[in-house]
């Protein structure tokens, strides 16, 4: 579903109901019915994101692929539009400044601000992925030459060496304090990435690692020096708790549901894409298992958390499916360049050609998908900014209206 289209039936029903129940005693029952409808839609949307059982008849988007992330953002935008309709449309503004909403709504608005920072950090991380893609394309260009000779192999080796080193820098070296200190030396000198400044061997020298580190940090470290994506997620989820007792009426439940969706989507983006300081990213989000709408989200969280734990153990790049594939193929091709002897055996040449073709296809997916993904993240940014502004203005209006005239 395109991000600009929303289920008119949902928004229409909310509008009609609100107009009908203004003077009716059954407003509370109608709100509960609206909440139930919202919960049903959230459950269905996240169920659609769960990987289906393997089948020869379908080729689903891989979990955490660019196509899957774009679908996730589409679903988020739809949920966001429905949430705003429930919270604002045709409602008495005084309702959202009464307990417990006088606490829950400001907490939600604070999470939105933190989500905006994450959107910015992820957008910078996508620029790093573009650099990975360019390095991979240099190696592809070299290894597609026929016949493959020492010159082509050395060129590919330099590009692959820079690619593997830079991916490790993005994801591993940022987690220690010394690297954090060096990350702000943006004026670091060094030759262009993959331009022939390597040693010609498969081992990266300390100087080469340092040069690549400086270049890639300058792309992705654009947030404040002490900013951490992992800590940002922790802050967003620290006070996220399902309403209980007297707080469990329809509106508090609605705010909790949307807060959970927001935290989950931002957590997923941080896990999938290069992002400043991801070390220690929480894997257990406070999603209530008692909520019927949460089951599919919990299933997705468990799958992503399992992959994240594997990633942290081996220190590989982010969970974006295309990056994982690029890393695996680059490591294999790097091994080939290190053991290359001329002339190349036919069987080995065919194996390398297949890997190069697969890496080329991965780069094509990145080329076609990264720009639309960036656009969607920007749309999420602007959409939540607009909604937050409308809610803040409503709160300010209500506050002024309820203030005694002196």
What's the pLDDT tens digit per position in 240-255?
998 887 666 789 999 9
Q: C-alpha angle 184/188/191, rounded to 5°?
A: 140
Q: What percent of the chain has pLDDT over 70?
A: 75
pLDDT computed for residue 115 by the predictor? 98
CA 25 to the chain's CA centroid:
44
Output the average pLDDT for the chain. Answer: 81
Whole-angstrom distance, CA of residue 241 vs CA of residue 227: 25
Q: Which of 50-54, 135-139, 270-274 has the lowest mean pLDDT?
A: 50-54
CA-to-CA dists, residue 129 to 40, 98, 143, 287, 381, angstroms: 36, 46, 21, 30, 20
Residue 54 has pLDDT above 70, yes or no: no
pLDDT computed for residue 382 by the predictor? 98
Average pLDDT over residues 217-241: 80
Average pLDDT over residues 127-153: 94
Straight-line distance from the first to the last Cα atom of the chain, in angstroms, rounded to the nearest whole number: 52
Question: For residue 297, what are the contacts with CB-CB under 8 A and spacing of at least 6?
Answer: 46, 260, 261, 264, 287
Q: Which residue has the tokens 């947030």?
A: 223
Average pLDDT over residues 377-389: 97
Which of the two residues, 166 and 186, has the higher pLDDT score?
A: 166
Average pLDDT over residues 113-139: 96
Judge if the upstream peptide bond of residue 343 is cis by omega within 30 degrees of 0. yes
pLDDT computed for residue 214 by the predictor? 45
pLDDT computed for residue 195 by the predictor? 33
Average pLDDT over residues 136-159: 94
Average pLDDT over residues 55-71: 81
Indicate the pLDDT class of residue 315, thresholds 50, 70 and 90.
Answer: low
CA-to-CA dists, residue 355 to 12, 139, 201, 223, angstroms: 52, 11, 21, 36
pLDDT computed for residue 250 by the predictor? 86
Q: What is the DSSP string of 257-302?
A: HHHHHHHHHHHHHHHHS--S--TT--S-----TT-GGGHHHHHHHH
Could you tell me how many residues make up the chain? Answer: 406
Tokens of 47: 């169920």
Whole-angstrom distance, CA of residue 143 vs CA of residue 340: 12
Whole-angstrom distance, CA of residue 152 vs CA of residue 333: 13
pLDDT computed for residue 225 by the predictor? 80
User: For 158, phi and psi rounded to 5 degrees?
Assistant: -65, -45
Domain ranges of the chain: 127-225+321-370
Answer for the pair 77, 383: CB distance below 8 angstroms, yes or no.
yes
Helix (H, G, I), strand (E, B) or coil at 197: coil
Whole-angstrom distance, CA of residue 255 vs CA of residue 107: 10
Closest among 136, 78, 52, 158 to 317, alpha carbons compared = 136
Q: Which of 85-89, 212-216, 379-383 has the lowest mean pLDDT?
A: 212-216
Answer for the pair 160, 334: CB distance below 8 angstroms, yes or no.
yes
Q: Which residue has the tokens 């969970």?
A: 319
Average pLDDT over residues 186-210: 38
Indicate the pLDDT class of residue 404, thresholds 50, 70 and 90.
Answer: low
pLDDT computed for residue 197 by the predictor? 33
pLDDT computed for residue 72 by the predictor? 98
């Amino acid at each position: 579903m395109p991000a600009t289209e929303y289920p008119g039936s949902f928004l229409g029903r909310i509008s009609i109901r609100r107009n009908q129940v203004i003077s009716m005693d059954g407003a509370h029952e109608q709100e509960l019915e609206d909440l139930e409808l919202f919960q049903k839609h959230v459950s269905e949307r996240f169920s659609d994101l769960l990987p289906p059982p393997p089948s020869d008849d379908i080729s689903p988007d891989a979990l955490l692929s660019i196509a899957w992330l774009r679908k996730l953002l589409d679903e988020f935008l739809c949920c966001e539009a429905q949430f705003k309709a429930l919270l604002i449309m045709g409602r008495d503004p005084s309702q959202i400044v009464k307990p417990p909403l006088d606490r829950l709504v400001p907490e939600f608005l604070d999470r939105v601000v933190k989500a905006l920072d994450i959107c910015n950090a992820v957008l910078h991380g996508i620029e790093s992925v573009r650099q990975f893609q360019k390095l991979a394309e240099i190696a592809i260009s070299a290894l597609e030459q026929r016949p493959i000779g020492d010159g082509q192999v050395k060129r590919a080796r330099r590009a692959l060496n820079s690619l593997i080193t830079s991916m490790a820098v993005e994801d591993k070296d940022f987690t220690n304090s010394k690297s954090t200190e060096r990350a702000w030396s943006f004026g670091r000198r060094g030759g262009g990435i993959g331009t022939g400044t390597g040693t010609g061997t498969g081992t990266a020298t300390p100087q080469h690692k340092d040069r690549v580190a400086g270049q890639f940090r300058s792309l992705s470290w654009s947030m404040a020096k002490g900013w951490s994506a992992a800590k940002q997620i922790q802050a967003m989820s620290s006070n996220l708790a399902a309403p209980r007792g007297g707080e469990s009426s329809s509106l508090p439940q609605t705010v909790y549901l949307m807060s959970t969706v927001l935290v989950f989507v931002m957590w997923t983006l941080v896990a999938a894409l290069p992002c400043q300081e991801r070390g220690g990213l929480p894997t257990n989000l406070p999603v209530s298992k008692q909520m019927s709408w949460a089951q599919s989200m919990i299933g997705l969280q468990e799958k992503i958390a399992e992959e994240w734990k594997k990633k942290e153990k081996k220190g590989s790049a982010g969970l974006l499916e295309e990056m994982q594939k690029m890393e695996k193929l680059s490591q294999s091709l790097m091994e080939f360049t290190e053991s290359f002897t001329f002339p190349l055996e036919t069987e080995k040449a065919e194996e390398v050609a297949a890997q190069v073709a697969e890496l080329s296809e991965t780069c094509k997916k990145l080329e076609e998908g990264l720009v639309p993904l960036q656009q969607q993240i920007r749309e999420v940014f602007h959409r939540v900014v607009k909604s937050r502004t409308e809610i803040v203005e409503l709160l300010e209006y209500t506050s002024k209206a309820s203030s005694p005239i002196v």
